Amino acid sequence: MGVPQSRASKQRKRMRRAHYKAETPTLTLCQRCKAPKRPHAVCPNCGYYKGRQVMAEEKA
């Protein structure tokens, strides 16, 4: 079984963990209402996906 020969320093540990960052989500504009939305997802504003209405529009 692999056992570390010596303790990993704080710097080495932090360098290894430097790649685990939260990324901003990718957003595209809805073709119908131009609201920002996630790609390949139903628009939360108008309820359209690929030119078809798949969710009913909410009246505020």
As averages over each run of 10 residues, the pLDDT of the chain (60 residues) reads 87 90 93 94 93 78
State the pLDDT at residue 4.
Answer: 83
pTM of the entire predicted model: 0.58
Residue-wise burial string across 11-28, b where 16 or more C-beta atoms lie within 10 A, e elsewhere? eeeeeeeeeeeeeeeeee
